[in-house]
Amino acid sequence: MATEIERKFLVKDMSFKALATSVVELAQGYLSTDADATVRVRTSGDSAWITVKSRNRGAVRGEWEYAVPVADAREMLDRCCGDRKIVKTRYIVDAGEGLNWEIDVFHGRHEGLVVAEIELPATDTPFARPEFIGREVTGNPAYYNSVLCKV
């Protein structure tokens, strides 16, 4: 089983943009928002994936991701997700020690929401918190994308 260990934080300011090593546009939607098995379809440019995630146990959960044809993913987003799609810009910022911050700037109905995530190799892995990092929201369902797609 693939395991994801991810910490999530609100972002205080947009200073991370100057530090970004890459920027990508993402569209995603959920085929299932069941807490025991969320199923997400995501596109970015000419790539697309389906991701299955198990229930969160703090910062840890199972995660399985598979590439799918972009045309199929776009059709799933249109037919199955409709206006519940999430559109965001992701900025990647080097966190040192082989880690990266992924900062998502949400668009549309979630305009103004900016969330930073860092994936860790172990739950006790230390990491530096840059100045732009605010309050931790790891484990807070209000900030799960699978919940945001419904509001």
Say how far apart CA 3 and CA 60 lie, in whole Å.
7
Task: Give kind and range of the element (H or E) at residue 76.
Answer: helix 70-76
Total residues belonging to the chain: 151
Encoding tokens for residue 46? 């000419």
Residue 30 annotated among the catalytic residues of the structure: yes
Token digits of residue 65: 């991701």
Q: Which two tokens stand for residue 81?
A: 């997700």
Task: State the Cα–Cα distance between residues 108 and 91, nearest whole angstrom.
Answer: 17
Backbone angles phi, psi at 43, to 5 degrees: -125, 150
CA proximity to 11, closest of 118, 146, 148: 118
The single-letter DSSP state of residue 71 is H
Q: What residues are labeled active site?
A: 30
